[in-house]
Structure 1
């Protein structure tokens, strides 16, 4: 490494935070054989990307019909193509909103981006979720460091879809929920898992998540967020 080279600190694809860590730049700096680039690199599971529309601006919708699948991916290449088109959490902190335009030209605010394993719906009523629970934390707009938030989210997504968590078998999916419009603006991140009764498994998952979410690219660590764990069978769904 030369003296002019700077090690990126945050795993963020928001160019205002890490201008040298855009996806095209990162890919161009890796010297890979052409056949490897073109060959699909399959993931262990197929994943569905869902959107949850804001039900307050769409009175004709409830949670179940406001939450729809919009894309799917089963390879590394498909994932990165999709991820390049989804805003980073830090962009939402600056007032950017995710918008879905319908075929009739109407526009709706997207409240949440959701990634779930194929065959599992992001509803508490789904059999894989009904007896499970979720781990969540809130990133408060007034205090969160944007680059740290992006790093936490991207670290989590890559670990979950890549199956690198030791307890990945119990993970059903993850949600990024935009709650910035309220008096106490925040972004909520949720990790949904199956079988809440298996305390040792989801507590081990929590410890893994705490470690990976606090890890920065330069080898340092940030303060992990405060996590809460909820049982789906003992509590009501969070509003939106």
Structure 2
């Protein structure tokens, strides 16, 4: 698979550097759906009139930060902070250009990019039956791959895009982790198509390993960052 010269240089350089919450089902009526569709159509009409370019989906950036060694009594979900939302190409670039680069953020920090209406929580109704593709990166190259993933997600370039909920960059001490969340872990075709699409758009070298993990498995994993948070 062809890799851009810039990304190949980054990879080569890196190699040289040696809830206690239960699931909540919210009933949405036909009237609610019609109102949401009407609001979306009105918003798109306003954006087009203003000369803006609407995205297929409205997105929200979130972040989570915990100071290492400091015990907290705050629930994990209460520490997920909304940064900004956007629904147009222009709005995205205004937001993105003002966000701190991932290389400047402390460990551990999580950056989340999710479709509007979906919180970056395993228990969210859009996520609870799904899972995530996980890729681990050396810190010197993770920022570039994260940016490529964000652009593919916002531009609706990944296959089975309607099945995608969002993406996360987990900044850790020795490595960074990218994950792409989808709605249905049991839809094997959609899960594998998403894997291939991620590989293609990120131009991942063959040496990179991708792991799929259903969210119900994450809930049982005592070693996960979030479960460690809950244990204090």
User: How many angstroms does 1:110 deviate by?
Assistant: 7.0
Distance 2:71 2:93 in 1: 31
Say if 2:65 is the partner of 1:53.
yes
User: How many angstroms does 1:234 deviate by?
Assistant: 3.2
122-131 or 60-69, larger mean C-alpha shift: 60-69
**Do 2:60 and 2:85's aligned partners in 1 also have CA atoms closer than 8 Å?**
yes
Q: Which residue number corresponds to residue 150 of structure 2?
A: 157
Distance 1:86 1:48 in 2: 13
Q: Which residue number corresponds to residue 77 of structure 2?
A: 64
Matched residue of 2:52: which SS?
coil
Give the number of aligned pairs. Answer: 179
Deviations 1:144-164 (A, max 9, x none): xx3x43332122111111111
Q: Which residue number corresponds to residue 166 of structure 2?
A: 173
Q: Normalising to structure 1: TM-score of the pair? A: 0.67
Matched residue of 2:169: which SS?
strand
**Do 1:10 and 1:150's aligned partners in 2 also have CA atoms closer than 8 Å?**
no
Q: Which residue number corresponds to residue 225 of structure 2?
A: 239
Distance 1:119 1:45 in 2: 11
Q: Which residue number corresponds to residue 211 of structure 2?
A: 228
Distance 2:132 2:188 in 1: 12
Gaps of 5+ in 2: 9-47, 227-232
Q: Normalising to structure 2: TM-score of the pair? A: 0.69
Q: Which residue number corresponds to residue 123 of structure 1?
A: 121
**Do 1:55 and 1:63's aligned partners in 2 also have CA atoms closer than 8 Å?**
no
Distance 2:225 2:213 in 1: 14
RMSD: 2.5
Distance 1:125 1:224 in 2: 33
Say if 2:182 is the partner of 1:193.
yes
